[in-house]
Structure 1
């Protein structure tokens, strides 16, 4: 069966399995390439078309194709689409899953990708006045409370992220029960908390003792730390999130495209 000769492929991927959908799609495409069902040089449909046929998100398709491209089985060119190559996997002897790649562009789609393909566990939930540095960041009165929660995120049974967040909301649905069973980005949508601007800062720091326990690291080891500030329509800080990532389990990447100056092309 050639995956791309079928108009409706919904149900081909199994949502009832623990295996993430992007991993299932990557494996399916890899097998078809190796069997010759997808031929060298064959052009693939657009991401949105394939996502529609499979009944999954475009982000899930993009993640699967990106990892196949990293293995050398696909070539992706901006404006030209994606095509099959005859090259074999670059790391045929690689054991275990590759690091999860998380592009800095298309951030909201990226948050959905993490939610779809990883597991989260809520460690604590409180509605309390924040410490002074956080209060100043939100520009709050001294006695106003924020939602504080701590979570860990895992993939294939390995905890790779320790999440500590403060959120400005009084919505009753933004509670421990909801946070324990769905992603925060989905809960933001459900509670009508629009994110219109995001600022991110990535640093290399030493892991704190408590996160080190969950990340299975030694206190003081190098850890990738991300601070994400999300703002609402009034440009007020809505959410302050700090994440400590195992650097061997998650990699951030970004793509920069150069748009030639008209004067360059005419020179």
Structure 2
């Protein structure tokens, strides 16, 4: 039982049930993530990707149990959770189908535009400030802001929502002298970059890393998702014109609410043909201003 299991074929009509069959997907019985939740994530991702379209019939409990080699109780819970999330409708005698209501829209941005799109975020989203205080800088924060560990910095925790649903969890740190120039209410009304620039900070550039992580219970509650759900993990250090770090931010995005796109072209270089972002010049440097 230590092997990955699953038997989902490509999207087609099952001869036995007439239900839509998603592409092949696997679950891991050795994972710490519950089996029902692994199935839930697979189905949810296929709904958001369009592989399972609105109104499509989903496999029944018994069929789902057989495909994933799980108990019928596990399969039932996965389908119930999918329905509780508003992504499916369960009807006695008629089975389970994908909800006719399409998923909430996502915010899309280019990689070059991933630094806060202030106008779009300000108009399309709402912000709730969960925490606003001054704390000693721990090692990671101190290294990012180039201050001594234990130096007091301003820390804010926020949740940004799109159409009433949480889309991102943000934790920001700024040097104390900058943080004292605005308050908690302002942090709930304006993007941090806007507040800093209003108070004379001249933002010049940033270094950013992008990876993936799983939602811890506290963050999962804030984002209205299940613990263990995948998240886009973005960490960014913003510097001013004097090369001083003025902000360190970690943003966790729900991938069903936030996506990025990249335009590429094929170019010839000394090493041969390569893909190049349209936001870069031939030397590989960014053209963004």
**Which TM-score band (shorter chain)?**
0.5 to 0.7
Cα distance in 1 between the residues matched to 2:186 and 2:116:
21
| TM-score normalised by the chain length of structure 1 | 0.58
Deviations, residues 118-151 of structure 1 (Å, cap 9, x unaligned): 1111111112221122112222134421110000
Q: CA offset at residue 167 of structure 1?
A: 1.0
Within 5 Å, which residues of 2 pair with 1:79-118? 95-107=102-114, 110-118=117-125
The 2-side partners of 1:108 and 1:243 are apart by 11
Counterparts in 2 of 1:236 and 1:257: CA distance versus 1, 3 Å: farther
Q: Which sections of structure 1, spanning at least 5 residues, go unmatched? A: 1-92
Say whether residues 1:167 and 2:170 are aligned partners: no
The 10-residue stretch of structure 1 (126-135 or 145-154) with the greater mean CA deviation from structure 2? 126-135
Aligned counterpart in structure 1 of residue 221 of structure 2, from 196, 213, 217: 213
Note the C-alpha offset of 1:169: 4.5
Query: Would you tell me which structure has more helix in proportion to its own residues?
Result: 1
Which runs of 5 or more residues in structure 2 are unaligned? 1-99, 273-289
For 1:142 and 1:192, the matched residues in 2 are separated by 26
Task: Name the SS for the 2:148 alignment partner.
Answer: coil
Aligned residues: 171
Larger radius of gyration: 2
Q: TM-score, normalised by structure 2?
A: 0.54
The match for 2:156 is 149
- Secondary structure of the 2:213 match is strand
- Measure, in 2, the Cα distance between the counterparts of 1:129 and 1:207: 25
Q: Which residue of 2 aligns with 1:123?
A: 130
CA contact 1:103–1:110 (8 Å) conserved in 2: no
- Structure of greater relative contact order (alpha carbons < 8 Å, 6+ residues apart): 1
In the alignment, is the contact (CA less than 8 A) between 1:232 and 1:238 conserved in 2? yes
Kept in 2, the 8 Å contact 1:152–1:159? The answer is yes
